[in-house]
Chain A
């Protein structure tokens, strides 16, 4: 049996009873106010985890040979309210399959998905869900406005409210002048923006985005990142899968790395990278030339940058020794900074580790 990763241990955002949390609770109570009893509303608000995956697996069988293939193997994960979670992994790692099981588009072979405590196969569980598929494709016989009108109708949004919200979103995503244009005439970037608009129409509590940056230019990516931060600020949880690791690093509170269907790592970005300090950089003034020569001889790169010296030390014990020798020579230490691995470097290193073989069903 393969080891199961523990549920999230990331710090919760805010503490119970803080003004922000109370404000969010009130907003949610107002949003859910119609047609639902106060007890069920409170239960939904109080549940700490918005989405819980428990030992989720998906096994496909080759139609010809009937040989099983594990696309997703025993993935366990919990997403908290108000966080941005990045699901990373190479092509074929099982990201999209996991997302489809979360959305009720694909039935798990084993394991469970709980969305606000409900099975996403139950259509009611998807009321506060927004989804942008990978390489989205929408009805090309419709215009952007007509598509949002259809989306609004499926969410049961009042027609006038839907019209107002659609106009807001089209403007926010730079599509206001294309509202009446047939979707068959949309470029890839425009389709991606419309995909975001339809995902945000119902003010979702969980936003699931499969490769949201795909097809967008740098300005579009920056806009989407800003939009996602705003959604987080509103209290929404965002689950995104991406290949653009540099952008994920600055956007996500936590990331999970999937490889060959297994969730091999989960954690906050600083947490995952903390163990990845490559070297230490010491910025120092008044370094005696004799000490500089001695550091170079000891294998520490020592270079003069303007009036300062920069010394690179590869490990912790050596750092202590170098700092002691500098202080003994009355050198003025400006800064000591760890040089960490980027998420991309960590990702590549994580993928190079062997993945435990999944238990194949017979």
Chain B
């Protein structure tokens, strides 16, 4: 466990000292600021606009951070051969991968939490009412990041950064539209297409499970059952992906 924590801490340091991370964090803060400026134009719905803008922006930027920095994390290690000195130490390859995953997730989750905290603080300052219901949306987004980060680590365990970024973006986009894809596939004429869609539907991550912004902007809290279900689903999906990634990484030769 200590070895996983050591790799995770190193990954966190690596991401934190990347200029891209700083730019994304500043962009995120700016985005919340802009939403506050434009909110008076929403004819009394300003609070909803800021909440929606803040939560959606936080989730999107955290996902972007995970994909942009995560897709090159492993490749950089192999390309610069920093991995040689590390993997000659008494550490399992699965522990190394898990450490990278934990470090990347923590970095993305920190950006997410920071942006949500700024949104909540601005709303509390302007309306003197703390929107506690945002905490449910934050937890769901953090659970979603468990899957997003696992997808990134899975693809980066065997392919190039560019392909990793492409596969991740495709998977995550399809994951948000999994229900629609299933509907159109199963209501089509071809039974073959229906079967293929069914298979893809079960393979894709169902990311709409983690989207509770509609509830939160209307002042409703996310129920504990939904939080528990989403958490369990994210843990299982991410666990399966990481196990597959570790199995692939275990077979790799470091040349």
Can you spell out 22 A-B residue pairs with CB atoms less than 8 angstroms apart? A100-B254, A103-B88, A105-B84, A106-B255, A107-B251, A123-B95, A127-B90, A129-B90, A132-B85, A133-B81, A133-B88, A135-B81, A136-B85, A137-B81, A137-B82, A139-B14, A139-B82, A142-B10, A146-B13, A150-B6, A151-B89, A208-B88
0/1 per residue, B204-231, Cβ < 8 Å to A?
0000000000000000000000000000
Other A-B contacts than A154-B90, A208-B88, 8 sampled, CB-CB below 8 A, are A100-B254, A106-B253, A131-B84, A133-B88, A138-B82, A138-B85, A141-B18, A150-B10
Residue of A nearest to B14 (CB): A141
A208 cross-chain contacts in B, Cβ below 8 A = 88
0/1 per residue, A20-57, Cβ < 8 Å to B?
00000000000000000000000000000000000000
Q: Is the CB of A129 within 8 A of B82?
A: no
B187 cross-chain contacts in A, Cβ below 8 A = none
Taking the closest CB of chain B, its distance from the CB of A134, in whole angstroms, is 9
Q: Is A104 an interface residue (CB 8 A)?
A: yes
Residue of A nearest to B84 (CB): A133
Give the CA-CA distance A148 to B63 in the complex, in Å.
32
Give the CA-CA distance A156 to B4 in the complex, in Å.
11
Give the CA-CA distance A135 to B251 in the complex, in Å.
25
A155 cross-chain contacts in B, Cβ below 8 A = 89-90
Q: Is A126 an interface residue (CB 8 A)?
A: yes
Q: Known: A137-B81, A139-B10. Is A105-B254 also a contact (CB below 8 A)?
A: yes
Task: Mark B residues whose CB is within 8 Å of A.
Answer: 2-3, 5-7, 9-10, 13-14, 17-18, 80-82, 84-92, 95, 251, 253-255
Residue from B88, B251, B255 whose CB has the most chain A CB atoms within 10 Å: B88
> In A149-166, which residues have CB < 8 Å from any B CB?
150-151, 153-156
Residue of B nearest to A129 (CB): B88
Give the CA-CA distance A255 to B9 in the complex, in Å.
41
Q: Known: A139-B14, A141-B17, A142-B10. Is A131-B85 also a contact (CB below 8 A)?
A: yes
Neighbour of A131 across the interface among B10, B13, B17, B88, CB < 8 A: B88
Task: Mark A residues whose CB is within 8 Å of B.
Answer: 100, 103-107, 123-127, 129, 131-133, 135-139, 141-142, 146, 150-151, 153-156, 195, 198, 208
Q: Known: A137-B81, A150-B6, A195-B85. Is A156-B90 also a contact (CB below 8 A)?
A: yes
A156 cross-chain contacts in B, Cβ below 8 A = 2-3, 90
A-B pairs with the 6 shortest C-beta distances?
A: A153-B6, A131-B88, A154-B89, A105-B254, A141-B17, A133-B84
A125 cross-chain contacts in B, Cβ below 8 A = 90
Neighbour of A126 across the interface among B9, B80, B82, B89, CB < 8 A: B89
Q: Is the CB of A126 within 8 A of B88?
A: yes
Give the CA-CA distance A78 to B138 in the complex, in Å.
58
Give the CA-CA distance A89 to B253 in the complex, in Å.
22
Taking the closest CB of chain A, its distance from the CB of B5, in whole angstroms, is 8
Residue of B nearest to A102 (CB): B88
Give the CA-CA distance A237 to B171 in the complex, in Å.
50
Give the CA-CA distance A256 to B6 in the complex, in Å.
37
Give the CA-CA distance A150 to B103 in the complex, in Å.
14
Residue of B nearest to A97 (CB): B255
Q: Is the CB of A126 within 8 A of B253?
A: no
Q: Known: A133-B85, A138-B82. Is A106-B2 also a contact (CB below 8 A)?
A: no
Q: Is the CB of B88 within 8 A of A104?
A: yes
Q: Known: A137-B80, A142-B10, A154-B6. Is A105-B87 also a contact (CB below 8 A)?
A: yes
Taking the closest CB of chain B, its distance from the CB of A82, in whole angstroms, is 21
Give the CA-CA distance A198 to B89 in the complex, in Å.
10
Give the CA-CA distance A328 to B92 in the complex, in Å.
75
Q: Is the CB of B82 within 8 A of A107?
A: no
A127 cross-chain contacts in B, Cβ below 8 A = 90
Residue of B nearest to A125 (CB): B90
Give the CA-CA distance A195 to B86 in the complex, in Å.
11
Residue of B nearest to A132 (CB): B85
Q: Is the CB of A106 within 8 A of B90?
A: no
Give the CA-CA distance A126 to B92 in the complex, in Å.
10
Give the CA-CA distance A242 to B18 in the complex, in Å.
36
Q: Is the CB of B254 within 8 A of A106?
A: yes
Give the CA-CA distance A136 to B9 in the complex, in Å.
22
Residue of B nearest to A149 (CB): B6
Give the CA-CA distance A106 to B84 in the complex, in Å.
10
Q: Is the CB of B92 within 8 A of A123?
A: yes
Give the CA-CA distance A103 to B87 in the complex, in Å.
8
Give the CA-CA distance A105 to B83 in the complex, in Å.
9
Give the CA-CA distance A231 to B91 in the complex, in Å.
24
